[in-house]
A and B are shown apart, each in its own frame.
Chain A
Amino acid sequence: MSGPSGLPNTGPLGSIGLGAKRGLSESRLALLLILPSLVLIGGIVLYPILNNLVISFFDYNLTIPWARPFIGLRNYVEVLTDREFLASVGRAAYFTVVSVSLELVLGLLIALFLNVDFRGRAFLKTMIILPWAVPTVVNAIMWKWIYDANYGALNGLLMQLGMIDQYQAWLAKPFTAMNLVILADVWHQTPFVVFILLATLSTIPESLYEAARVDGAGSLQAFRKITLPFLRPAFLIVLVIRTMEAFRVFDIIYVMTAGGPANGTQVATYYTYVETFRYLNMGKGAAQSFIISALIMLVSIVYIRLLKQDDTAY
């Protein structure tokens, strides 16, 4: 059998004459063509990860270059028995659970609202993207000013509403600071959830709702029996992505609170940063980063399993 050029048919690439001359199979040729990208990815991603793994087995402190002994798993043991590390993982978990829950609820409500046709909807849809468009660092600086103890807009607003009689140092209390940082992140990330859910909502056929109305179903029933099941896959995708990102949160903490007050916002990634770039304990920092990655991977695997179950149910 031969292709249009009269040469042996070796697939789509072969039919345009590529590879046929050298007798390369299509898969071999494909491999050759993507080899440059593979080398690049390998160099930028794979090599540092493997190097990081190797470093984690050494007592590697940059200020002690003359002594870098191999210590096996000791870094991992030290990290897993370090109370502050475990506390920082706990804080990261709290940050993740609260911020992702808020984003999903708010995102769903806003998406449902924007799914209804009303005047000015297109304008609102455009405006809703603005928080997400703001760079993370700019967002953090902006909220830091809002929460400022002496000039902050939050203090000004609450004072005018009569809800406080004195300006408060909001970021000076550990638990309050954590929740306010979460608020800043939720404001920033909710539009992402809105857009994913809105895109899914717009694919739900209107005929289903009509049929439900004909059958006498109320709007709440329609929501539970039609909307939610359709949204489930989108929910899970958003859940996986936002959980991974929230657990790795760093820049907003770095700018807003630097892990304070009293380590109240020191999440796992921030602690790893301090261990690696302030204390220069590369080995311990490498071990910490692997443990955090392992935790994120574990959570992701659970979610993906849930997604797969969902697929088979359909």
Chain B
Amino acid sequence: MSKSCRWSICLAVIFLIGLSTYVNAAASKITLNFIGMDQAGMTVDEQKTVIREFEKLHPNIKVNATFVSYDALHDKLVTALAGGGRAFDVMLVDNTWLAELASAGWLLDVTDRVTPEMKRATVDQEVTWRIVTYNGRLYGMPWLMDQKYFFYNEEMLARAGYNQPPKTWEELVEMSRVMKKKGIVEYPIIWSWAQRECANCDFVALLYGFGGRLENEKGQPAFNEKGGLKALTFMVNSIREGISNPSSVVAVEEDVRHTLSSGKAAFAINWLYVYDLANDPAESQVAGKIKMSLVPVSEEVYKKGIVSATSNDSMGFAISKGSRNPDAAWELLKYFTSPEVMNRYAAHQLPIWKDSFSDPALVKEQPVTMRMFQKQFPYGHVKVHVPYYMQYSKIMQLMLQEALTGKKDPQQALDDAVRNIEIIQKKYK
């Protein structure tokens, strides 16, 4: 055998040994790809801590985590799932996207993995599990159960001469006028009305607060009825009068939180996570002054005995159908939604488990938010769950923007939106 031939054989053998070692190592370690959100709910650092704990408990599983904003999340999910669904194993999915993703066949059906005990152990079984249900099948675990809460600056209210938060929107307008006159704050209320999903959440709270509804009994859009018109007119007039901050038209939830926390607003509606951060001296200039109360309704609705109305917007974890490690993915899902983990981070996101709400240690730690959740939850309204929700959402966002920028008058904006949604509904029949 020639010298070069011997060298070649040696090198080949070394290479093969190296390759097999690598293959063995790779085979024994499972990699899960996780995608979550970096706004509302648990912070990114908190989620990363949970993931590291999970990896310690399961040394053969490695988790690659990605965190994006809510709006980017949908687009990233869709591009990943359309390409075979192997890019992500565990994904955070909004309740409004579930119909779209499940009908396209991209999510793993986990109905058989959810036990009846798990179902019974959650808060408000029916509403909670609806987050991850499509056509009677379950596609994940509920996780981020959130709704818009009403926040107010107690000190500003006191300076205006009030010791109770407003119960109706009309009361709020009155209080705002007094605050403006006394020079307490220039624009009393800040909203998230940017051309994104957040505007729809605010609109749903106001829509039901003014006696309107999203759809009628036949499932047709009905938000252009009297209640819807009152809600949209209230929005437009509040900007015109200077009660609502004009920057609301381009603001998202974080902008609302910053405005409230810097003392530039007396009232705001936002997700639960704001309470802790707005009262944290490291994050807020008005720490200790921000309180919560029920989201107001109109006087007309209040007189009917309905004391509040808000938007219920929840998210859950789902597993991609193309995932190569569905069992490991399910373990990660269960860990994230386990009572131990959820109880620990209850400051930014309330647990989905009934027992957590009667855990004295937890109630002592989060007295305000836990009580507020239980008070507000019965008045939450869910959005429509349809496969064409993205188009529905865009139509509604545009409707709000056109009315708020004065491009169309409220009734016309509402009617045009309803008509456009009906056109899409026909395509899906």
Give A residues with C-beta under 8 Å from B: 62-65, 148-150, 166, 168-169, 171-174, 257-264, 274, 277-280
Contacts and interface: CB of A to CB of B under 8 A. Distances in A.
B289 interface: no
B238 to A, nearest CB: 14
Contact of A149 (B82, B105, B250, B397): B250
Given A65-B104, A278-B74, A278-B75, A169 B246 contact: yes
Given A173-B405, A174-B405, A280-B390, A263 B250 contact: no
B196 A258 contact: yes
B429 interface: no
A149 B247 contact: yes
A63 B405 contact: no
Contacts of A171: 250
Interface string B41-83: 0000000000000000000000000000001001100110010
Given A63-B100, A169-B250, A261 B259 contact: no
B341 interface: no
Contacts of B104: 62-65, 280
Given A62-B78, A260-B401, A172 B246 contact: yes
Interface in B376-429: 387-388, 390-391, 394, 397-398, 401-402, 404-405, 407
A254 to B, nearest CB: 9
B36 to A, nearest CB: 20
18 contacts: A62-B78, A63-B103, A63-B104, A148-B247, A149-B246, A150-B262, A150-B264, A169-B246, A169-B247, A172-B246, A174-B407, A259-B195, A260-B196, A261-B194, A263-B398, A263-B401, A277-B75, A279-B391
Interface of B: 71, 74-75, 78-79, 82, 100, 103-105, 186, 194-196, 245-247, 249-251, 255, 258-259, 262, 264, 387-388, 390-391, 394, 397-398, 401-402, 404-405, 407
The residue among A62, A65, A168, A173 with the most chain B CB atoms within 10 A of its own CB is A62
8 residue pairs, one from A and one from B, having the closest CB atoms? A260-B195, A149-B247, A262-B401, A172-B249, A169-B247, A278-B390, A169-B246, A63-B104
A173 to B, nearest CB: 7
Contacts of B194: 258, 260-261
Contact of A261 (B100, B103, B186, B405): B405
The residue among A149, A171, A172, A279 with the most chain B CB atoms within 10 A of its own CB is A172
Nearest to B101: A63
Contacts of B397: 260
A65 B82 CA distance: 11
A16 to B, nearest CB: 25
Contacts of B259: 150
B407 A277 contact: no
A277 B82 CA distance: 10
B100 A262 contact: no
Nearest to B399: A262
B100 A277 contact: no
Contacts of B186: 166
A109 to B, nearest CB: 33
Chain A interface, DSSP helix/strand/loop, else mixed: loop
The residue among B245, B404, B405 with the most chain A CB atoms within 10 A of its own CB is B405
A263 B194 CA distance: 11
Given A150-B258, A150-B259, A262 B402 contact: yes
A259 B100 CA distance: 23
Nearest to B75: A277
A275 to B, nearest CB: 9
Contact of A258 (B195, B391, B404, B405): B195
A264 B103 CA distance: 33
A63 B387 contact: yes
B394 A260 contact: no
Contacts of B402: 262
The residue among A260, A274, A279 with the most chain B CB atoms within 10 A of its own CB is A260
Given A149-B246, A150-B259, A169-B250, A261 B388 contact: no
B99 to A, nearest CB: 8
A171 B193 CA distance: 13
Contacts of B264: 150
B258 A172 contact: no
B252 to A, nearest CB: 10
A171 B394 CA distance: 19
Contact of B405 (A62, A150, A172, A280): A172
B401 A261 contact: yes
A62 B247 CA distance: 36
A172 B245 CA distance: 11
Given A260-B397, A279-B388, 10 more contacts: A63-B104, A63-B388, A149-B245, A150-B258, A174-B405, A260-B196, A260-B401, A261-B249, A278-B75, A280-B104
B407 A279 contact: no
B407 A262 contact: yes
Contacts of A260: 194-196, 250, 397, 401
A148 B245 CA distance: 13
A174 B406 CA distance: 10
B249 A280 contact: no
A150 B262 CA distance: 10
Contacts of A173: 405
A260 B402 CA distance: 10
Contacts of B250: 149, 169, 171-172, 257, 260-261
Contacts of A168: 246
A260 B407 CA distance: 13
B143 to A, nearest CB: 23
Given A63-B387, A171-B250, A262-B407, A277 B401 contact: no
A280 B100 contact: yes
Contacts of A174: 405, 407
A188 B196 CA distance: 26
Contacts of B100: 63, 280
The residue among B71, B74, B250 with the most chain A CB atoms within 10 A of its own CB is B250
A280 B104 CA distance: 10
Contact of A277 (B78, B255, B388, B391): B78
Nearest to B252: A258
Contacts of B405: 172-174, 261-262, 264
Contacts of B390: 278-280
A261 B104 CA distance: 31
A171 B103 CA distance: 37
A262 B247 contact: no
Nearest to A281: B391
